[in-house]
Amino acid sequence: MPNHNQPNENQSTTILARLGIAEEEWHAQGIAPQTLVAIYHDFALRNQELTDIAAQTANTLQHEPAVHAVRYRVKDPVHLLRKIIRKKNEYPERTVDERSYLDWINDLVGIRVLYLYKESWREVGHFIKATWELKRTPIAYIGAEEAASVADEFTAAGCNIRRHDLGYRAVHFVISTQPNRQRYFAEIQLRTLFEEGWSEIDHNIRYPDHRCGAAIRELLTILNRLTSQSDQLASFTKFVLNTVYTSEQLTDNERSEVFAQLQALPISKAEKVRLHEQIDRLLTKMN
C-alpha cells in the first residue's frame, strides 16, 4: 500500500516549479529540494490546526473593546517556501528542515487587528501581553521621516523601532501559542483603519508585477501623508469629545493642551481659527 504522506516525483516537481525560483538559488543557500518538498507537505498537514489557532486567536482579540475588526490568514505554502529561502540567505548559519521551520518562521499564522484611533494600540498591546507569551520584543514600524517624538513614544512603551522608507506603519507582536502538543508562533499586526486602507492600496498598486514609476511613487507618498493626517484628525476629534464635551470644567493645563493640539493639526489657518472660536465658546460656557 502506498504512503500518501510521501510525495511522488511528479508532485515534487510541480511544487518546486511553482516557486518560480531557479534551482541554483536554493542550492546556493544549502537547501535540498527534498527538504523544501517535505516542508510543503508537513505544512499542508497542519493547515487545519493552524486555521483553528488563527480563528481562536482572532476571537480572543475581539474581546478587547478598543479592537474594531480582526482579520486572519494561514500562510500560503508556496509563499512559505519562498520565505524560507530568503531567510536562509539572511541567516545562513541556521538549519531548516520539516521539523525546525516551525520554530523559525513567525507568521505561519498572521492576524491583523484594526482600531479607530492611533493611540488605541496601547490598549490592544497591553491585552496581547497579558494574554500570550511573546517570542520577542514588539516592533513598531514608522515612516522614515517620522518625528523623533513618535519613535520615543513607542520606545518608551517597550517597542523596538524600524523606520520604513515607504511609510508603512504598524506594530507587530509575535506570540507563542500551544493549544495542543505542538507550539506555534503567530504574528499579530496592529494598525488603524486608515493605515490599513493605505497599505492595501499601496500593495495592490506596487506589487506584485506592476511597474511603479516616479509619478506613482509620489502619489502613494502623498496618500501616505494624508493617511497620517487623517489619523491625527480622528484622534483630536475623540480628544475634544472626551475633554471639552464631557467635562464640567477644564484646568488651565487641559485647556492649553486642547489648543496646542489644535494648532498642530494639518488643516488650513482659516479652519484652525474657526475651530478655535467654536471650542473657546464651549469652554466659556463651562466656566
pLDDT tens profile 53-73: 999 999 999 999 999 999 999
Average pLDDT, the chain: 89
CATH homologous superfamily of 10-206? Beta Polymerase, domain 2 (3.30.460.10)
pLDDT tops 90 at residue 126: yes
| Dihedral sign (CA 192, 194, 195, 200) | positive
pLDDT tops 80 at residue 234: yes
d(CA 72, CA 104): 20
pLDDT of residue 27: 65
User: pLDDT tens digit string along 148-173?
Assistant: 989 999 999 999 999 998 899 999 99
pLDDT of residue 1: 34
pLDDT of residue 87: 87
Mean pLDDT of 6-21: 68
* One-letter-per-residue 3-state SS of 123-186: HHHHHHHHHCEECCCCEEEEECCCCHHHHHHHHHCCCEEEEECCCCCEEEEEEEECCCCCCEEE
pLDDT of residue 176: 96
d(CA 93, CA 75): 24
Mean pLDDT of 192-198: 97
Top-confidence residue, 90 or 219: 219
pLDDT of residue 115: 98
**φ, ψ dihedrals at 44, nearest 5°:** -60, -40
Global pTM reads 0.88
Quick check: helix, strand or coil at residue 188? strand
pLDDT of residue 264: 93
pLDDT tops 60 at residue 130: yes
Report domain extents, the chain: 10-206, 214-286
